[in-house]
Structure 1
């Protein structure tokens, strides 16, 4: 099976330092009926940015593990709860939540402890671009130019 890929030449319509500005332009084009299927937002100069959110301690690792384990426990409790009736269902859900939280905390603590302090911080990683370019297919470039004037 062969996949057909559409390759068309495009023209640079506008360039922005902020993604939201590029998004606003495309949204305005869409609102005014322009066929936005021929538009692309291209991020140039992409880099990763890691925002440090705080110090990771064994306690925080255990708490994060407990939260994840509790959700997993609730999922397991709900699955087993399909085969029960009455008040047993609620108890099964609560017991699964507690067991999941306990083992999640244990695994979170052990996982952090095993790193021996090599990464004692938590962070969130994102992708950012230096600029965002709005491109449009060459056939529609003249029609699209009215949106940036």
Structure 2
């Protein structure tokens, strides 16, 4: 049985390859974004445009060295926030709990935060003594357009690169 609506892979949320013709290629995402913004400002049908990162790579930038003191301090702070939150909730919804619930929640949060952080860090046995942030980047960024508007888009981006 066929239905009136047959979903496409992209409509179902599945990964699909981009389609369209290249109208510009840029070294950074910021440049590609600026190009598409230029197209939008000049009333180009940007719903037909796709920015494609070519040759993707994961870049991990090391932010700091990880030490026991940093791990324990971080665990204490995050545990304190959570404990304070739980203590505040208990004091609000328990009649007569008062400030004791807040202080108990805070102290418990610090203890459990330090213990959890120490256990996680100790389990690594010094194999990862640094903090880092990962980023997905591409070697270059291509701007594609549907064929029906590709020539116009290419001309508009050529004018942008020449400074017109």
What's the TM-score bracket when you normalise by the shorter of the two chains?
A: 0.7 to 0.9
Listed as ranges, the matches of 1:39-78 within 5 Å are 39-77=49-87
CA distance in 2, matches of 1:138, 1:93: 64
Report the number of matched residues. Answer: 148
What is the CA deviation profile of residues 34-82 of structure 1, one whole-angstrom value per residue up to 9, with x for unaligned ones? 2211111110111111111121111111122223323333443454455
TM-score (norm 2): 0.74
Q: Is 2:151 aligned against 1:147?
A: no
Q: Does 1:104 align with 2:108?
A: no
The answer to whether residue 20 in structure 2 is matched with residue 13 in structure 1 is no
Pairwise CA distance, 1:27: 1.4
Structure 1 residue 25: Cα displacement: 0.9
Q: Which runs of 5+ in 2 are unaligned?
A: 11-15, 159-164
Q: Is the 8 A contact 1:48 1:128 kept in 2?
A: yes
Pick which of 74-83 and 31-40 moved more: 74-83
Q: Given that residues 50 and 144 in structure 2 are in contact (C-alpha distance below 8 angstroms), is that contact kept between their aligned partners in structure 1?
A: yes
Using the alignment, how far apart are the partners of 2:66 and 2:60 within structure 1? 15
Partner of 2:162: none
Residues in 1 aligned to 2:47 and 2:39: alpha-carbon distance in whole angstroms: 11
2:8 is aligned to 4
